[in-house]
C-alpha cells in the first residue's frame, strides 16, 4: 500500500523536488494533501497530475480563486482549506514533508509532530524558533523527525542511529564534532569595501544551488549556515562547541562527522535536493532519486576555508544567539526575515541586514517561550519592532 504524503510548501524548490520523487515512485508514495501560498496555476498543475484530496492555500484570495478555477475545470472534488495548520495532522497522512520557508512553517509542522507523523524536516526555522519545545513534543507524540536539509541529511547518513518507539536515537558517544559545509555563496571572495554596492540580483545568484530568493540571500549572508548550526544542535543532541561549519565552494561534501579515533565520515553527492529528500522518504531503505552519482575523475580539487566574521557577521550572530539561549534564536530568525524582505524590496542595502538583526537582538526583551503560542507571540513582537526600525531608517 502506498504511503500517504502531505507536502507543506508544494510549489517551492523543495516541494518540486519532492514531487519528482513521488512521480518516480507511484507504487510507494501517494500525494494526499498539499499546501501553498498563492501560486494557483502551479497548484492546479499539481492537482491535475497527482490528484491530492486536500489542498490548503495560505492566501485567502488565492484559495477563493482556486475554488473557482477547479469548478470551471470540473475538478471540484478536491477539498480546499484556508490554511495549512491542520493538513499534516490528518489521520490519513503517514508522512509530512515540511518545506514551507520561514516562520510560517512552524505551526503546521508542529501540528504534524503532535499528530505523531513521520516528519521530513526542511523547515529549519521550526527548530531555530522552538527547538526544545519541538524536540520534546516529538518525543511525547512519537513523531519521527528526519532531516531533509542537505547538510543535516549528510550528518544523518554519517551517524550511527536507530529508531526506537517511533523516535530516532543517535549514538554520539564517540563523536568529536559535527561539521556542516557551506558554499560561501556569491560573495566569498568579493572585496569587502564593495559590499555596500551589492544589488538584489547579485545576492539572488547562488553559484551551486537553485533555491528561492529568501534562502539564497540567507546563503549570501551566511545566516543560512547559522540557522543550520542551531538546527543541528537540536536534531542530534549536540552542544554548540561540538558543531561547526566550513566553507567548501565545490558543494560536493555536504556534511561530516569527526570521531574520537581520528576518522571522519563524510557524505558526498551532487548539489541536488532530490538526494536528501529520497534518502529521508525511504529510510532505512534507499530508492532512485534521479540524481547521477559523482564521477570522481571529473571532480577536480576540493577546498575548505574558515568563515570570516567580518565577511559573514550573520553566521556569528546566530552562534551567539543560540549560546545565550532563551528567546534570542526566535528573535534572530524573525529579525532576519524582516531584514531580508526589506533588502529584496529595495528598502535597505545588503550590509544593513546584520545591523538590523543585531539591533533586534540587543533591544528586544526575549522573555520565556513556554509553548508554541508564546514563541509565535515573540516572533510577531520582533517583526513589529523590526518594521519600526525600518521606518526610522527611511525617515533619516
CB atoms within 10 A of CB 306: 9
The answer on 47 and 109 residing in a single domain is: yes
Distance, in Å, from the CA atom of 289 to the CA atom of 26, rounded to the nearest integer, reads 13
The answer on 154 and 140 residing in a single domain is: no
The answer on 361 and 230 residing in a single domain is: no
CA distances from 45 to 17, 123, 196, 307, 315 (A): 15, 24, 41, 42, 38
Rounded mean pLDDT, 53-74: 89
Distance, in Å, from the CA atom of 8 to the CA atom of 97, rounded to the nearest integer, reads 6
The answer on 393 and 261 residing in a single domain is: no
Question: Percentage of the chain surpassing pLDDT 70?
Answer: 98
The answer on 299 and 360 residing in a single domain is: no
Nearest CA among 143, 172, 144, 168 for reference residue 158: 172
User: Residue 174's pLDDT band (boundaries 50, 70, 90)?
Assistant: very high
SS3 content of the chain, % helix, strand, coil (to 5): 50, 15, 35
The answer on 175 and 37 residing in a single domain is: no
The answer on 162 and 124 residing in a single domain is: no
Last residue of a domain, one of 147, 165, 189: 147
The answer on 174 and 127 residing in a single domain is: no
Q: What is the CATH number of the domain that holds 85?
A: 3.40.50.720
Distance, in Å, from the CA atom of 180 to the CA atom of 304, rounded to the nearest integer, reads 11
- For 269-290, what is each residue's pLDDT tens digit? 999 999 999 999 999 999 999 9
Q: Return the SS3 of 183.
A: coil
pLDDT at 293: 95
Least confident segment among 69-83, 154-168, 189-203, 258-272: 69-83
The answer on 237 and 172 residing in a single domain is: yes
Report the number of distinct structural domains present in the chain.
3
Least confident segment among 16-30, 63-77, 105-119, 129-143: 63-77
- For 264-274, what is each residue's pLDDT tens digit? 999 999 999 99
Q: Which three cell numbers stand for residue 159?
A: 551517524
- For 156-167, what is each residue's pLDDT tens digit? 999 999 877 767
pTM of the entire predicted model: 0.92
- Which domain, by its residues, includes 85? 3-147
- For 118-129, what is each residue's pLDDT tens digit? 999 998 889 999
Q: Which three cell numbers stand for residue 264?
A: 571522519
The answer on 229 and 304 residing in a single domain is: yes
The answer on 258 and 163 residing in a single domain is: yes
pLDDT at 119: 97
Last residue of a domain, one of 118, 147, 176: 147
Q: What is the CATH number of the domain that holds 361?
A: 1.10.1740.10
Last residue of a domain, one of 296, 319, 342: 319
pLDDT at 217: 94
The answer on 157 and 116 residing in a single domain is: no
Rounded mean pLDDT, 343-347: 94
Q: Mean pLDDT across the chain, nearest whole number?
A: 93
pLDDT at 209: 65
Burial class (CB in 10 A: 0-12, 13-18, 19+), 69: middle
Amino acid at each position: 500500500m502506498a504511503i500517504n504524503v502531505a507536502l507543506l510548501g508544494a510549489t517551492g524548490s523543495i516541494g518540486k523536488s519532492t514531487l519528482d520523487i513521488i512521480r518516480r515512485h507511484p507504487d510507494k508514495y501517494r500525494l494526499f494533501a498539499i499546501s501553498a501560498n498563492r501560486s494557483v496555476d502551479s497548484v492546479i498543475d499539481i492537482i491535475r497530475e497527482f490528484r491530492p484530496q486536500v489542498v490548503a492555500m495560505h492566501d485567502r484570495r488565492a484559495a477563493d480563486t482556486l475554488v473557482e478555477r477547479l469548478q470551471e475545470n470540473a475538478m471540484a472534488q478536491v477539498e480546499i482549506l484556508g490554511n495549512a495548520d491542520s493538513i499534516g495532522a490528518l489521520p490519513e497522512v503517514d508522512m509530512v514533508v515540511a518545506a514551507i520557508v520561514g516562520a510560517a512553517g512552524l505551526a503546521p509542522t508542529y501540528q504534524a509532530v503532535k499528530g505523531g507523523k513521520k516528519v521530513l524536516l526542511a523547515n529549519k526555522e521550526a527548530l531555530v524558533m522552538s527547538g526544545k519545545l519541538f524536540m520534546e513534543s516529538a518525543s511525547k507524540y512519537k513523531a519521527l523527525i528526519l532531516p531533509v536539509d542537505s547538510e543535516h541529511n549528510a550528518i544523518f547518513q554519517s551517524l550511527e542511529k536507530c529508531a526506537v518507539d517511533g523516535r530516532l536515537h543517535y549514538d554520539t558517544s564517540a563523536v568529536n564534532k559535527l561539521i556542516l559545509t557551506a558554499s560561501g555563496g556569491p560573495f566569498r571572495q568579493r572585496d569587502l569595501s564593495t559590499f555596500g554596492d551589492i544589488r538584489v540580483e547579485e545576492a539572488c545568484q547562488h553559484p551551486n544551488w537553485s533555491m528561492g530568493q529568501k534562502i539564497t540571500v540567507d546563503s549570501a549572508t551566511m545566516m543560512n549556515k547559522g540557522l543550520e548550526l542551531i538546527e543541528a544542535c537540536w536534531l542530534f543532541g549536540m552542544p554548540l562547541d561540538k558543531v561547526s561549519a566550513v566553507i567548501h565552494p565545490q558543494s560536493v561534501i555536504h556534511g561530516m562527522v569527526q570521531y574520537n579515533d581520528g576518522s571522519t565520515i563524510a557524505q558526498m553527492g551532487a548539489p541536488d535536493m532530490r538526494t536528501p529528500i529520497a534518502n529521508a522518504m525511504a529510510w532505512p531503505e534507499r530508492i532512485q532519486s534521479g540524481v547521477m552519482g559523482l564521477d570522481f575523475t571529473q571532480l577536480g580539487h576540493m577546498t575548505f576555508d574558515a568563515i570570516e566574521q567580518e565577511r559573514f557577521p550573520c553566521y556569528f550572530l546566530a552562534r551567539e544567539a543560540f549560546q545565550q539561549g532563551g528567546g534570542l534564536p526566535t528573535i534572530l530568525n524573525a529579525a532576519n526575515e524582516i531584514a531580508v524582505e526589506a533588502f529584496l524590496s529595495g528598502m535597505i542595502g545588503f550590509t544593513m541586514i546584520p545591523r538590523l538583526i543585531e539591533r533586534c537582538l540587543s533591544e528586544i526583551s526575549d522573555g520565556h517561550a513556554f509553548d508554541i503560542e508564546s514563541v509565535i507571540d515573540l516572533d510577531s513582537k520582533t517583526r513589529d519592532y523590526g518594521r519600526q526600525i525600518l521606518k526610522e531608517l527611511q525617515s533619516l
